[in-house]
Amino acid sequence: MTTEYEVHAIRYATREGRRDHSFIDADPHDGPLPMDYFVWVARSGSRVIAIDSGFSRAVAERRGRTFLRCPVESLALLGIAPEQVGDVVLTHLHNDHAGNLDKYPAARFHLQEREMAFATGRHMRFACCGRAYELDHLFEALRLNFAGRVEFHDGAAEIADGITVHPGGGHTPGLQFVRVWTRRGWLVLASDASHYYENVESMRPFRLVFDVGTALDSFRALRRLAGGEMDRIIPGHDPEVMRRYPAPDPALEGIVARLD
């Protein structure tokens, strides 16, 4: 029997946004569309797997984001200490997904080999590719690799029974998304393979995209791995997630949502 996980999203930052910043083909007068920042956590008994690690307050302030809470310390809201996290899946190395790595003393980190190659490669000289990365985050990832704590994957891989990663490139070449077995079946944590529900629903990539064709292929992969059921896909930045899913406790309304 496949291991079943409970899955939560933690909202740790937010910012004002506009629709024309969120779709490659949107009308420039389209109106506001806020962006939320999340990390996700899958738990089955004592096994805890974090998906992405967010940014710090300092990065948020420098980039003009509204920082709400430390994404790693917020695990305490679910009764989880960072020391209990055995695996961290990094969907990609963008600043809002791959900071705070030093706050996980016991974790192995899972990353696509292509993502590290891209983030340390020739395209970083161009601001449109490089500015979404934080050099300090990359240094920390390199440090962890030298310490033997990074598991590189080349395509789909099983992280644990009931948790797999899948290539979801386009936004960045080495992006991976995560599929988790839950009480309602397979749940697909898209991360930035689909920032908003509308990206995958309307097959229109987010504006920051390295390869449009691959981004479209990734939308199809998300749909396929969700068994064609759109409500099993969790987008990476959509405030709608907090409205569609219940808080595990009324005090955590708008902060934590249970997804499974």
Site of interaction with Zn ion (CB under 5 A) = 96, 192
Would you say 129 or 181 has its CB closer to Zn ion? Answer: 129
Would you say 87 or 96 has its CB closer to Zn ion? Answer: 96
Rg value, the chain, Cα: 17
Would you say 96 or 238 has its CB closer to Zn ion? Answer: 96
Alpha helices in the chain (DSSP H): 57-63, 113-119, 127-130, 135-146, 197-202, 212-225, 240-244
Tell me how far, at minimum, the Cβ of 118 lies from Zn ion, in Å. Answer: 15
Tell me how far, at minimum, the Cβ of 14 lies from Zn ion, in Å. Answer: 13
Would you say 192 or 238 has its CB closer to Zn ion? Answer: 192
Tell me how far, at minimum, the Cβ of 191 lies from Zn ion, in Å. Answer: 7
Tell me how far, at minimum, the Cβ of 11 lies from Zn ion, in Å. Answer: 13
Would you say 223 or 237 has its CB closer to Zn ion? Answer: 237
Closest alpha carbon to 43 in 70, 92, 10, 16: 10
Tell me how far, at minimum, the Cβ of 63 lies from Zn ion, in Å. Answer: 12
Would you say 5 or 206 has its CB closer to Zn ion? Answer: 206
Tell me how far, at minimum, the Cβ of 190 lies from Zn ion, in Å. Answer: 11
Would you say 96 or 115 has its CB closer to Zn ion? Answer: 96
Would you say 192 or 198 has its CB closer to Zn ion? Answer: 192
What is the CB neighbour count within 10 angstroms for residue 23? 19
Which tokens hold the place of 86? 């055995």
Phi, psi of 218 (to 5 degrees): -65, -35
As a whole number of angstroms, the distance between CA 54 and CA 63 comes to: 13
226 DSSP assignment: T
Tell me how far, at minimum, the Cβ of 161 lies from Zn ion, in Å. Answer: 28
Tell me how far, at minimum, the Cβ of 218 lies from Zn ion, in Å. Answer: 14
The answer to whether 118 and 174 are in contact (CB under 8 A) is: yes
